[in-house]
Amino acid sequence: MRFGSGWSWLKIVPVWIGLMSGVFSVFREIVGIYFPRIGNAESMFWSWTRITFIVSAFIVWWQMRQEIKKLAEENERLRRDESAATRPQLTEREQSLRSIVRDLIAGSTKAELRVLHCILDHGEIEQYQLDRAVQDRGAVASALEKWRHTLIGETVEIGTNRTSYSIVAGRRSALEAVLGPLDSP
């Protein structure tokens, strides 16, 4: 801390004058009455003036330090309150959906989870694109068998019989939250 920042003579001088005209003037008079041989009145006055200045500077420093601590604690409390306020609160429905998704994908293999990630990444993907992207037909078949109509929605185009897959409506955000990022391809 620099001496000029926050340290003002206007803070020290009133404390200094208050102490010199109050408590320290009584001490100075007691010393003068009971110990008259210590020195003359002028040197005694200037000695007590210096001592009082040092004590008043310490008092002002201590008060400022207490104020800084109080502000730091208040700042920390506000930061905690702000982080708690910005933390997303899950509704009961969102918690329920995440629980359902967790139960559905419990015990799944990495290859099956890769199928879910692939569908999540593409939004809607045709059967041949899914097979090409995952490169494991067994995992694709297993994932479709496990999660068709619960996590994976299936659309068959009339006339061409093209089959495409997407995540069932309402389950996408819960699935993204539960799955997290894909660790390995």
Asked if 49 contacts 90 with a C-beta cutoff of 8 angstroms, the reply is no
| Residues 6 or more apart in contact with residue 86 via CB below 8 angstroms | none
| Residues 6 or more apart in contact with residue 144 via CB below 8 angstroms | 115, 152, 154, 165
The fold of 92-179 is: Arc Repressor Mutant, subunit A (1.10.10)
Strand arrangement, sheet containing 124-126: 124-126, 163-167, 152-156
Q: What ranges do the domains of the chain cover?
A: 9-86, 92-179
Given this model, what pLDDT does residue 185 score?
45
- 3-state SS assignment for residue 126: strand
Given this model, what pLDDT does residue 68 score?
93
Asked if 135 contacts 155 with a C-beta cutoff of 8 angstroms, the reply is no
Say if pTM beats, i.e. exceeds, 0.75. no
Asked if 143 contacts 168 with a C-beta cutoff of 8 angstroms, the reply is no
* Residue stretches of the chain with pLDDT short of 50: 1-3, 184-185
Asked if 9 contacts 3 with a C-beta cutoff of 8 angstroms, the reply is no
Q: In this predicted model, what pLDDT tens digit does every residue of 72-114 receive, in sequence order?
A: 999 998 888 777 666 667 778 888 888 888 888 788 888 888 8
CA distances from 58 to 7, 12, 47 (A): 11, 9, 17
